Amino acid sequence: MNLRNTLLGMFQTSRKHQRCWVVALKHYIQQCTEVRFTHQSSKNIQPSTSGILARSIASDEQDLKAQGITPISIVVCNLYPFEATISQPNCTLANAIEEIDIGGVTLLRAAAKNHERVSILSNPSDYSEFLTAFTQGQGDIGRSFRSRLALKAFEQTAKYDEAIGGYFREQYASAEIPADKLAAPVQRIALRYGANPHQKPAQAYVTNGELPFKVLSGAPGYINLLDALNSYALVKELQEALNLPAAASFKHVSPAGAAVGVELDETEKQVYGVDDLKEPLTLLASAYARARGADRMSSFGDFIALSAPCDVATARIISREVSDGIIAPGYSEEALDILKKKKAGKYCVLWIDPLYNPPAIETKQVYGVYLQQKRNDCKIGSDLFQNIVTQNKDLPSAAVIDLIVATLALKYTQSNSVAYAYHGAIVGIGAGQQSRIHCTRLAGGKADLWWLRHHPRVLALPFKKGVKRAEKANAIDLYVSGEALEGGEKAQWENLFGGTVEPLTDGEKKEWAAKLDGVTCSSDAFFPFPDNVHRAKKSGVKYLAAPSGSVMDEECIKAADEHGMVFAHTSLRLFHH
């Protein structure tokens, strides 16, 4: 490297702190460097950038000589403090605009682009290390150091641009701005807080195009949007896979229930609490009735997703349930009117663009570290269950539908997870467990309670007039689970009924459980031991699906053969976090 270097210093902020480094830089490298310190502006950066971008090749050197421009080897530049300015509570738009650096960003990028020859100092914290390397290397800090400085400069300008974009997104394209003052499609929505009330500020935004959803009523929270976007992705895929309207009931980023539009028989209408509905049940309404009714305890306060425009019958069902909100690709005028009246007008109603497709790459931040992966865009259809490894290979079309429902639900359930499905609906799901068998037991236990709710004695429970739906759901859950009640809790439970209620005996429960058959069970990863197969059988499971890969695969297959089950190896793991 030629020891006659040229240094361009551009100091725009914190001048008192940086003055000492200017002096130090002059003192340590004046013997081998022509020092030119200037306060650059957009009016005179062109000659500077030409001197920065020039390469060490004959043609560039000739051009510089012809134009009387000296090549620059070192650039020291600090940007205007835009982020510090906008963080001030009294910051005005004019204040923010004044602190948008133009020339500095140009110099940083020019120097970083040509880091094969040029050193770029964009942060005072690098001055000391640079001076040491410069003096020890007699003017050459080495290619590795120059590359590191260039990377830092590129990252700094990217962060700087992101801060500017974020500020003006809030000023010009936020949902809170009156429509007549919006300068661009809505890209951002402010949220009351994050996952918890102390986590402020919070927002949802996109950096390209516009938000794929609109708020028609209420105000979504952080967790509401996690549930809404995950649940809509699930129901959209269910409808695409089965060509049936789909619904999901989500709580804390996992489905409490999910279903497709399969007509309800009279008993199911009673079990799901829609036998008294005046409007005829549409397939979409049937789908939500199944999704909500599979596990009413977990669905309490759910966020709902529909794959098709919400109709009146579906809205009527939703109107009498305790729910936080709904997302759908449309609403009939009457259905929207019904939903807007819920929770005194505070019920969250979201419209989502049915044509929206998210980017192929997704990014999240955990503890300050960015994690990035290809979105899980695998398609789940009947072909996934063709590799049947058991002696019994009879897999009817109804079971295939249920396997698709169960497996797609797992795609959007916190892992580990296992799902049971029947008649186009999830009837039990075990989510977020570290042990596979605990997932299977949890899902099976929920399926068992769901089935006991069909028992004639449960359907005939003599509730007093005026007992609320949520109170009925809780009372039934206590009844079918056999929970031992004492004291005030027992008295409160008994007071819900107009007569004495005798408990279901173990014999009655066992006899009723034996009547359930043809349930499907899917797992998001392989079964490590055959105990999962045996437990699934106890809940009426006849059709199994799970990836292969366990050293105990053969033992699991033997267990399935023992029970005459159909077991498909999917070769598709579906972990979700």
CA 195, 196, 197, 201 torsion-angle sign: negative
Using CA atoms, how far apart are residues 195 and 176, in angstroms rounded to an integer? 21
Q: Residue 574: which residues within 8 A CB-CB, separation 6 or more?
A: 376, 378, 407, 410, 411, 415, 524, 525
Looking only at the bridges linking them, the beta strands covering 323-328 and 348-352 are: parallel
Q: What is the pLDDT of residue 33?
A: 41
Q: Please tell me which residue in 26, 113, 214, 343 is annotated as part of the active site.
A: 113
Q: What is the pLDDT of residue 46?
A: 57
Per residue in 3-34, is it b (16+ CB within 10 Å) or e — as a string? eebbbbbbbbeeeeebeebbeebeeebeeebe
Strand partners, 74: 7, 119
Decide: 115 and 146 in contact? Cβ < 8 Å. yes
Decide: 268 and 291 in contact? Cβ < 8 Å. no
Q: What is the pLDDT of residue 5?
A: 52
User: 3-state DSSP call for residue 79?
Assistant: coil
Using CA atoms, how far apart are residues 491 and 14, in angstroms rounded to an integer? 72
User: 3-state DSSP call for residue 541?
Assistant: strand
Q: Please tell me which residue in 17, 214, 251, 252 is annotated as part of the active site.
A: 252
Using CA atoms, how far apart are residues 283 and 263, in angstroms rounded to an integer? 6
454 flagged as catalytic: no
Block means of pLDDT (10 residues each) for the chain, 577 residues, are 47 42 47 41 55 87 85 88 95 95 90 94 91 90 96 96 96 93 93 94 94 96 96 98 97 96 96 94 97 94 97 97 97 97 96 96 94 95 96 97 98 96 97 96 97 96 93 95 92 93 94 96 96 97 96 96 97 94
Q: Kindly provide the residue ranges of all beta strands, DSSP E only, lying in 278-382, ordered along the sequence.
A: 302-306, 323-328, 348-352, 361-366, 369-374
464 flagged as catalytic: no
User: 3-state DSSP call for residue 135?
Assistant: helix
